[in-house]
Amino acid sequence: MKILVTGGLGFIGSHTVVELQNEGFDVVVIDNLSNSSIEVLQGIENITAKKPEFENIDLRDKKSVQDFFKKCSDISGVIHFAASKAVGESVENPLLYYENNINTLVYLLQELQQKEEAHFIFSSSCTVYGQASAMPITENAPVQSAMSPYGNTKQIGEEIITDVAKVSSVNAVLLRYFNPIGAHPSVEIGELPLGVPQNLVPFITQTAIGLRKELSVFGDDYPTPDGTAIRDYIHVVDLAKAHVLALQRLFEKKNTEKVETFNVGTGKGSSVLEVITAFEKVTSQKLAHKIVGRREGDVVEAYADTQKANTVLGWKAQSSLEEALESAWRWEQKVRGKMAVCPKQN
Ligand code: UD1
């Protein structure tokens, strides 16, 4: 079966292409290389001994999307990653986010709804819960008013898919990711943030490698045991596997609703200071950091109730925080060409 992976050269997309190919699926990647590199194709091939088909298509171009589906009428399922994801940028340029994240989704669904059967997996985010009132967060926790245009595109995206599924052949799974980190254990693929990383783990690894002077810890006055904010950090390979299971669930018609939603996290919350300590343990080096004020828009804590994913999807995170951080560190060293100081080789 042939699966279309949009944004398939990005961080989560590329790891998902690997897992799909490992499970025997044929993959066509669509990516416009706006936040990814063509070299990722080679990394995928190095792991799976198979290069996925690749189309450099900008999904904002409706005609190109139509032409693609005319040409590739044998697509059995779509996993849609292609989207912009920087919260701050979305506040500064909201229309860019509505165009990139919403128009593209509409164009894809316009093609899919014409099919006799359509299977669709959507990259959503725990950001839809805002600051949930109870931890861990279940899928029934209310969706709260979005704090950024980026967050809003995830909420609107979920609603669009739900509306379309009601009146069409589209069956969908919405995967609400917690905080994806790490790299493939082969370090053939990993995260490639553009510019100064906004997310915690790439900032940590870039600090450790000497690209950044020190990590700023955003706030130590949160109502948490050590005062720093708590998140659920999930290894990207575990997250990628959840997509394959979600797709298989749709193919096997095991879904009980036309649109199902799953949290994808480990179920374990870690504070920023705990992440730093774990990173220091894994790498046997001190990480330069200082406490600064809170970052606007950050929630105090967010970690997943994973029971639904465990029992219904048959998925459970396998990797520990330490394993994920270790892979992120080896990847950073590889990217910067400093494999000689890799802790695994010392
Ligand atoms: C962020 C987005 C979220 C998005 C996700 C995608 C915000 C407010 N939220 O999640 O909507 O879905 O990325 O990956 O941007 N931290 C530091 N110093 C840093 C960077 C981060 O202390 O230099 C802290 C943050 O305050 C937070 C934790 O580390 O407590 C994780 O931050 P981050 O990796 O940016 O993820 P989220 O904010 O949870």
pLDDT, one tens digit per residue, over 160-187 is: 999 999 999 999 999 999 999 999 999 9
User: Which tokens hold the place of 43?
Assistant: 């990394």
**Which ligand 1 atom minimizes the distance to the CA of 294?**
26
Return the pLDDT at 338. Answer: 67
- Segment 337-344 mean pLDDT: 54
One-letter amino acid at 95 equals: L
Return the pLDDT at 337. Answer: 83
Assign domain 2-180+235-264 one CATH number from 3.40.640.10, 3.30.70.1400, 3.40.50.720, 3.40.50.2000.
3.40.50.720
Between the CA of 229 and the centroid of ligand 1 the distance, in Å, is: 9
- Segment 239-259 mean pLDDT: 98
Helix axes 11-22, 236-251, angle to 10 degrees: 60
Q: Which residue from 200, 216, 231 has its CB within 8 A of the most atoms of ligand 1, so it is best to mutate?
A: 200
**Which ligand 1 atom minimizes the distance to the CA of 148?**
11
Mean pLDDT, the chain, integer:
96
Catalytic, out of 129, 150, 222, 303: 150
Q: Where does the pLDDT of residue 330 fall: very low under 50, low under 70, confident under 90, or very high at 90 and above?
A: very high
Can you give the residue ranges of every domain in the chain?
2-180+235-264
Q: Name the residue at shortest CA distance from atom 38 of ligand 1.
A: 298
Return the pLDDT at 194. Answer: 87
Q: Name the residue at shortest CA distance from atom 34 of ligand 1.
A: 199
Return the pLDDT at 339. Answer: 57
Q: Assess whether the C-beta atom of 154 lies below 6 angstroms from ligand 1.
A: no
Between the CA of 109 and the centroid of ligand 1 the distance, in Å, is: 30
Whether 345 shows a pLDDT value over 50: the answer reads no
Between the CA of 198 and the centroid of ligand 1 the distance, in Å, is: 7
Whether 97 shows a pLDDT value over 50: the answer reads yes
Phi, psi of 230 (to 5 degrees): -110, 135
Identify whether 150 is a catalytic site residue: yes
Q: Assess whether the C-beta atom of 200 lies below 6 angstroms from ligand 1.
A: yes
Q: Name the residue at shortest CA distance from atom 28 of ligand 1.
A: 200
Q: Assess whether the C-beta atom of 155 lies below 6 angstroms from ligand 1.
A: no
The pLDDT tens digits for 12-54 are 999 999 999 999 999 999 999 999 999 999 999 999 999 999 9
Q: Assess whether the C-beta atom of 229 lies below 6 angstroms from ligand 1.
A: yes
CA nearest to 68, candidates 116, 15, 104:
104
Between the CA of 218 and the centroid of ligand 1 the distance, in Å, is: 9
Q: Assess whether the C-beta atom of 176 lies below 6 angstroms from ligand 1.
A: no
Return the pLDDT at 328. Answer: 98
Whether 300 shows a pLDDT value over 60: the answer reads yes
Return the pLDDT at 341. Answer: 47
Q: Assess whether the C-beta atom of 97 lies below 6 angstroms from ligand 1.
A: no
- Segment 185-209 mean pLDDT: 96
Whether 109 shows a pLDDT value over 80: the answer reads yes
